[in-house]
Structure 1
Amino acid sequence: MFGFGRGRGKRADDVVEESAEDEAVPERGPFDESEAPKDEVERLDLGSVRLPVPEGGQLQVEVDPAGPVRAVHVVTPVGRLTVSAFAAPRSDGLWREVSGELAEQLRKDGARVHTEEGEWGTELVADSPKAALRFIGVDGPRWLLRGVAAGPAETAEECAKLLYAVLDETIVVRGTDPMPVRTPLPIQLPEAILRHIQQAQQAQGNGQAAQ
């Protein structure tokens, strides 16, 4: 559906010479809307996040019975990716707090959990009976972006690399409205996807009525 149109960004320790104009835009994401690059990367606009969908990825949407979209997943041949944004304080450090709570909950659920230092800091790696999981958090200006890779243990490394690539090109749209810390930023589906879901729900309702 969507492909990556830009290579991986430079790491922080790369030594490069750049013009003053280049310095205005970060070399790698996730990006705040205010500093988003003007590139040719095709991104899926979900309102609070704009993310590229890997080649061959399929969207899976979770919708609450009341109507709001709970989550959007990208299903790939190597696993499932989920990228979500949350309101955060102006100061950094929310991911450190959230990841500690998440690790505790995963252990209570029977998963084996350890931490690794990754591209954006501490990552949680969990082995559960259902899947191999990796949680990545990025603290931004008044937002926290969380990425989750879930899939079979044998493809966990490939799935993690795919998640890194997606996060590296993601744009977060926080908005200016005050929101309680940890509140999920609202997801808005493109009109075409929304129509598809509504048609599928209607067809399912008609099918149940005919039984």
Structure 2
Amino acid sequence: MKWFRRRNRDTPTPSGPYDVRDAPDDGVSRLDLGSVRIPVEPGTELRVELSPDHTEVRAVHLQTGLGQCTVSAYAASPAGGLWPEVCSDLLDLPPSMESARAERGEWGREIVGERDGMVIRFIGIDGPGWMVRGVAVTKPSSAAKIAAALRDIMRATIVVRGNDDLPDRTPLPITLPDEMARHL
């Protein structure tokens, strides 16, 4: 994606996503959604998904020319290990997918499924007391490109867990910047 400079082989690759306590001061511009701070390429359309009663934000989707990417964070045990459980659930073919398979990715298993002629990729990473999950949805012809774009987004994401005692798998709250909230 455009906001990342390509690195030469002698330059280490960033090791994100980052816990807010370990976030680098790297100059990357990120959209602050409360529990996650994600890089957004200029020209990306943001789509806000609200709860049925319109009282809370469920997700913010990044709509690009390749397809749609979504990054969300969830409460997890400080010891980690939530993503492997979620992978197993996704491989059990939730009603929203027609097929699902595991592939090896940068952080371990990624789940790739299909629904209505679209490819859906799930990437998850366990952090200290949280799990961050990225989802990309696209046409089969763009599947490899959007997977790379989602990995770039995840690599630069910062997770803000907060101190609330929450059960595993509880979505961490998403808050919109004031300017975005006013447009709703």
Could you tell me the TM-score, scaled by structure 2's length?
0.91
- In structure 2, the CA distance between the partners of 1:167 and 1:109, relative to structure 1 (3 Å rule), is closer
The CA deviation at 1:193 is 0.4
Alignment partner for residue 116 of structure 1, among 103, 120, 144? 103
Find the residue that maps to 2:124 and give its secondary structure: strand
Aligned residue in 1 for 2:135: 148
More strand by share: 2
Aligned residue in 2 for 1:174: 161
Check the 8 A contact 2:90/2:100 in 1, yes or no. no
Alignment partner for residue 144 of structure 2, among 157, 179, 192? 157
1:70 aligned onto 2:72: no
- In structure 2, the CA distance between the partners of 1:179 and 1:122, relative to structure 1 (3 Å rule), is same
Give CA-to-partner distance per residue, 1:68-119, whole Å, 9 cap, x none: 001110000001000000000011211000111122133x555121111100
1:185 aligned onto 2:175: no
1:132 aligned onto 2:110: no
Aligned residue in 1 for 2:3: 4
Check the 8 A contact 1:9/1:28 in 2, yes or no. no
More helix by share: 1
Find the residue that maps to 2:77 and give its secondary structure: coil
Question: 1:120 & 1:54 partners in 2: Cα distance?
Answer: 23
Unaligned stretches of 5+ residues in structure 2: none
Give CA-to-partner distance per residue, 1:122-174, whole Å, 9 cap, x none: 00011222410100000000000000010111111111111010001000000
Aligned residues: CA RMSD: 2.2
Aligned residue in 1 for 2:69: 81
Unaligned stretches of 5+ residues in structure 1: 17-25, 198-211
Higher relative CO (CA 8 A, sep ≥ 6), structure 1 or 2? 2
- In structure 2, the CA distance between the partners of 1:166 and 1:62, relative to structure 1 (3 Å rule), is same
Find the residue that maps to 1:105 and give its secondary structure: coil
Question: 1:178 & 1:50 partners in 2: Cα distance?
Answer: 21
1:54 aligned onto 2:41: yes
Could you tell me the TM-score, scaled by structure 1's length?
0.80
Q: Which has the larger radius of gyration?
A: 1
Identity level (%):
45
The CA deviation at 1:3 is 5.7
